């Protein structure tokens, strides 16, 4: 690599954070996109700030973002979600995150999760994880069985009826289940605070940055069948702090077929 991926990702996150700080808990309009998800000037401005940094330092790289789209072309692709958790942002809760990932031929090789309000940042590259924040040490925890697990999910609304039934099977097997957090919850999993996250209807920009972070912390990220995530994956995501319990979690989540595949259109 002839460019400094870590420096570029860090500069991009800093630029996005500057935009987000200006809008956090301020009065701003909220629009509804075609998929019924909300978007604000903060989302759009933060993505524009990230893209400006990437264009300046990596002009030959492809960029795909939640708000401005893009197409995977060539070897390197940056995948960005300026505010993962816009609903939390709109309501003034600092549990959203900026996500930046670098993919090499479709495989995430760098992941950054940034919470600019709390000053927490997870940055993983070359299977090494660096965490910046006032509390926490990188590293997932080992548990005896999934009966000891803290399970998390952003919202049950992301599930189809069949998926929700399977999630409930997993929830019944775990110690507790908590809702909310979006990408921030995956950062907590990388700190050993959460053990399992099971979600659905995620796009590549939702999960690409999470994979290097959790794997570098000692965990694993797959779909609900236990398969590696790709740009053609079906939108289900299963993250575990202790990969030894993947089979047990997959068994609980695989009683019915997953939704139709969703992915990125390639040229």
Amino acid 30: pLDDT: 77
Amino acid 28: pLDDT: 75
Residue pair 211/175 in contact (Cβ under 8 Å)? The answer is no
DSSP line for 30-51? EEE-TTS-EEEHHHHHHHHHHH
For residues 217 and 110, what is the distance between their CA atoms, to the nearest angstrom? Answer: 13
Q: Checking DSSP bridges between strand 62-65 and strand 76-84, what pairing results, if any?
A: parallel
What is the block-wise mean pLDDT of the chain (267 residues), using blocks of 10 residues? Answer: 87 97 86 74 94 96 90 91 94 96 97 98 97 95 97 96 96 96 97 98 97 98 97 96 97 66 47
Q: Model-level pTM? A: 0.91
- The residue written with tokens 């998929």 in the block is 35
Phi-psi region of 136 (alpha: psi -120 to 50; beta: other; left: phi over 0): left
For residues 194 and 206, what is the distance between their CA atoms, to the nearest angstrom? Answer: 18
Q: Interhelix angle for 41-57 vs 5-23, to 10°?
A: 160
Residue 69 DSSP code: B
Nearby residues of 7 by Cβ (< 8 Å), 6 or more positions away: none
All domains of the chain in start order, with CATH: 5-132 (3.30.540.10), 146-253 (3.40.190.80)
For residues 67 and 75, what is the distance between their CA atoms, to the nearest angstrom? Answer: 22
């Amino acid at each position: 690599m002839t460019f400094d991926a870590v420096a570029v990702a860090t500069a991009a996150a800093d630029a996005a954070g500057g935009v987000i700080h200006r809008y956090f808990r301020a009065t701003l309009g909220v629009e509804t996109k075609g998929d019924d998800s909300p978007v604000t000037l903060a989302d759009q401005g933060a993505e524009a700030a990230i893209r400006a940094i990437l264009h300046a330092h990596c002009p030959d790289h492809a960029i795909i973002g939640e708000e401005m789209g893009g197409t995977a072309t060539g070897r390197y692709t940056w995948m960005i979600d300026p505010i993962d958790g816009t609903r939390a942002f709109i309501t003034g809760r600092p549990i959203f995150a900026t996500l930046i990932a670098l993919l090499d031929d479709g495989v995430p090789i760098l992941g950054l999760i940034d919470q600019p309000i709390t000053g927490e940042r997870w940055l993983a590259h070359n299977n090494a994880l660096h965490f910046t924040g006032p509390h926490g040490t990188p590293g997932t925890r080992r548990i005896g069985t999934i009966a000891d697990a803290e399970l998390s999910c952003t919202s049950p609304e992301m599930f189809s009826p069949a998926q929700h039934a399977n999630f409930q099977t997993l929830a019944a097997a775990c110690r507790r289940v908590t809702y909310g957090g979006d990408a921030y919850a995956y950062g907590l999993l990388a700190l050993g605070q959460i053990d399992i996250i099971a979600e659905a209807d995620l796009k590549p920009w939702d999960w690409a940055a999470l994979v290097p972070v959790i794997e570098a912390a000692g965990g694993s990220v797959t779909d609900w069948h236990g398969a590696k995530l790709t740009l053609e994956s079906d939108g289900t995501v299963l993250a575990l702090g202790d990969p030894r319990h993947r089979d047990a979690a997959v068994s609980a989540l695989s009683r019915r077929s997953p939704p139709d595949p969703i992915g990125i259109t390639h040229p």
